[in-house]
Amino acid sequence: MIRFGAALAAAWLALGGAAQAQPITLERFGSFHVGGRQVVLSGQPVREYLPTAGSVPLRIDPNGVHMVGQMYARFMVPAPQRGAAPLMLWHGAYLTGVTWETTPDGRPGWDEFFLRRGWATYVTDAVERGRSGAAMVPEIYAPPLHLPAQNPWERFRIGTGAGSYATRSVLPGNQFPTEQYEAFTRQVVARYLGTDADVLAAYVALLERVGPSVVIAHSQGGALAWQVAQRRPDLFRALVLIEPAGIGVAAEAAKLKDIPQLLVYGDYVEQDPRWSVIRRNARGFAAAIQAAGGTVEDVDLPGRGIPGNSHMLMMDRNSDAVAALVQGWLARQGLWR
Amino acid sequence: MIRFGAALAAAWLALGGAAQAQPITLERFGSFHVGGRQVVLSGQPVREYLPTAGSVPLRIDPNGVHMVGQMYARFMVPAPQRGAAPLMLWHGAYLTGVTWETTPDGRPGWDEFFLRRGWATYVTDAVERGRSGAAMVPEIYAPPLHLPAQNPWERFRIGTGAGSYATRSVLPGNQFPTEQYEAFTRQVVARYLGTDADVLAAYVALLERVGPSVVIAHSQGGALAWQVAQRRPDLFRALVLIEPAGIGVAAEAAKLKDIPQLLVYGDYVEQDPRWSVIRRNARGFAAAIQAAGGTVEDVDLPGRGIPGNSHMLMMDRNSDAVAALVQGWLARQGLWR
């Protein structure tokens, strides 16, 4: 296993620091929706309201065909391209593709980091969230859950656990830009349960449309990415799992044996009652993939000289250092020219 | 009043057609959220669930501080810039900023049209929609409405009115790319009522952050834009109202007298029982602005030699011709170098 040293990370940071001050040329950019299924509703009450002053009363009859389970994707293709495949950025629960855009404290996010290194990037909003839209409640989806501000602070290894939001207690050396924590809470959206089938189908539809890709997936998105890859391993050139919050189908780990995989967790994991178990489970799953002949490189960031990362490491102050580690690994897989 | 001829439109189309095949250089790009307010919830039940295989049961306590009413904005700044101010694109009801991105049939949308002509563009998702996120129902917001597939077909002057979705009857000469109507329905999201105060406050916060701007607003967004402009006329360099679905505060029309305004409606308006009234109301409001000394140029697209436009004219096959008309008007206001 090759180790990433602080010198390599510093070199990448220097490149990033210089590159980000320069204009960037795009070959093309755009967005689209993929997937979805049509559901017919009947027996629902009609609603009528006046939309705004100067309008005319509007009668909304919800009975009929509803498109649900579709997914939004935005892409930017740089010129020249250096990535050997499209690079997808899949976010986690209660969040949208904004995860990968500008950080809460205004620095370039991972979308821009990889775009500036010549990757065609695809940022999605998982089904039910953001621009993908959500289905009617409770007729099609069950009522969603909403996170109050204290939840990510206490659960994402920013604060010192339960009760720490009230006192704003921060884990020692934590890299999350806590002075912009409120800005981060503006990104949080509702999460529907029981939608996994729609989510998985839409990710497959996305990869079928774009073609075999490098997928970088975070948290819930990591668990989903493993499951998508088990359905269609042919559509993955590489899979980077950033703090996956779950695993794939344990009995089918062998289906992942031909996909190069990188598993990354940040700091404070062992002392956290949930994340320590989640990582142990992920490592067990990775071991099953390796037992089947696959390759999963397991990175503990503090062990690589990158301490202080919260669960939202693509927003942490050292987000570029973590991205550089991922970039270096992708280059060593021969996926970057 | 200067009239836009077919020749001028054709000239712009030629420029657009050539430019769109070329790479584009960005000075910078990114996204952020603005606005919002904090609401404290209490007495709500705690929910617990297993997020995914390999995870650990998750306990969500919704009691605490919730950020609501914030708004998402994405920006792209071209190099070189030719616009004299940032250009904002505000969408309509049941939609998100996707309105302005790639059209349902895969052509560049208005965001790209104006970006390629040197405007720094800002695309937003109105409060409660898309990446802006929605508040808890029913504790903070009232339950939303969802549009079935037939609603825009029959209401947005694509089909021949009530009942036309079942037969897919299309208004003669209609420019909407109906073969991709299903793709359009994937963009549709829920709409919450009673959120106008949050929406207006967030648009003001956006303009305060970015500075005085050119605002292009569609449908519900047009009515809201008039209301925002009445609150803060100093933050508008020009206002382009694309089929506004309502008006501002009638008694305060004079507040808009110093903002150059363009009012655009498409085809089939007079024969439509709702849109004919809506346009009549908008023209009445425009007359009040003019009576106070303001300038509102009123464009009936068929009367300018651009027939067949639905309510979604930024997605219609001739969307570039309509955009060119807007661009020409902005240039004549001295806002384009």
What residues contact residue B217 under an 8 Å CB cut-off, 6+ apart? B88, B89, B90, B224, B225, B239, B240, B241, B242, B244
Residue carrying the six token digits 């499951």:
A227
In tens, the pLDDT along A196-243 reads 999 999 999 999 999 999 999 999 999 999 999 999 999 999 999 999
In tens, the pLDDT along B72-92 reads 999 999 999 999 999 999 999
Whether A51 and B245 lie within 8 Å, measured CB to CB: yes
What CA–CA distance (Å, rounded) separates B213 from B259? Answer: 11
Q: What is the structure's pLDDT at B272?
A: 98
CB B130 within 8 A of CB B221: no
Residues in A 174-233 with any Cβ partner in B closer than 8 A: 182-183, 185-190, 193, 196, 220, 223-224
Whether B23 and A23 lie within 8 Å, measured CB to CB: no
What CA–CA distance (Å, rounded) separates A120 from B150? Answer: 36
**How does DSSP classify residue A214?**
E
Q: Where are the domains of chain B?
A: 6-332
What residues contact residue B37 under an 8 Å CB cut-off, 6+ apart? B67, B68, B69, B198, B201
Q: What is the structure's pLDDT at B260?
A: 98
Average pLDDT over residues A151-156: 98
In tens, the pLDDT along A170-197 reads 999 999 999 999 999 999 999 999 999 9
Task: Pick from A29, A49, A220, A230 the residue to mutate for testing the B interface (most B CBs within 10 Å).
Answer: A29
Q: What is the structure's pLDDT at A1?
A: 35
What CA–CA distance (Å, rounded) separates A175 from B123? Answer: 30
The partner residue sitting opposite B26, judged by closest CB among A24, A30, A60, is A24
The partner residue sitting opposite B55, judged by closest CB among A186, A223, A249, is A223
Q: Which residues of A touch B98 (CB under 8 A)?
A: 31, 33, 72, 131
Residues in A 62-101 with any Cβ partner in B closer than 8 A: 62-67, 70, 72, 74, 79, 93, 96-98, 101
With an 8 Å Cβ cutoff, is B280 touching chain A?
A: no
Q: Give, rounded to a whole angstrom, the gap between the first and last alpha carbons of chain B.
A: 22
Would you say residue A7 has pLDDT above 60? Answer: no
Distance between A244 CA and the closest CA of chain B, angstroms: 9
Distance between A131 CA and the closest CA of chain B, angstroms: 4
The H-or-E segment that residue A326 falls in is: helix A319-332
With an 8 Å Cβ cutoff, is A134 touching chain B?
A: yes
Whether B249 and A53 lie within 8 Å, measured CB to CB: yes
- φ/ψ of B299, rounded to 5, equals -110, 120
B194 burial via Cβ count (<10 Å: 0-12, 13-18, 19+): exposed
B172 burial via Cβ count (<10 Å: 0-12, 13-18, 19+): exposed
**Residue B152: both structure tokens together:** 């825009």
Distance between B218 CA and the closest CA of chain A, angstroms: 14
Does the A6-37+69-332 domain belong in CATH 3.30.1360.40? no
Assigned CATH for B6-332: 3.40.50.1820
Distance between A254 CA and the closest CA of chain B, angstroms: 17
Kindly provide the ipTM of the predicted complex, given to two decimals: 0.94
Mapped onto helix, strand or coil, the DSSP state of residue B108 is coil
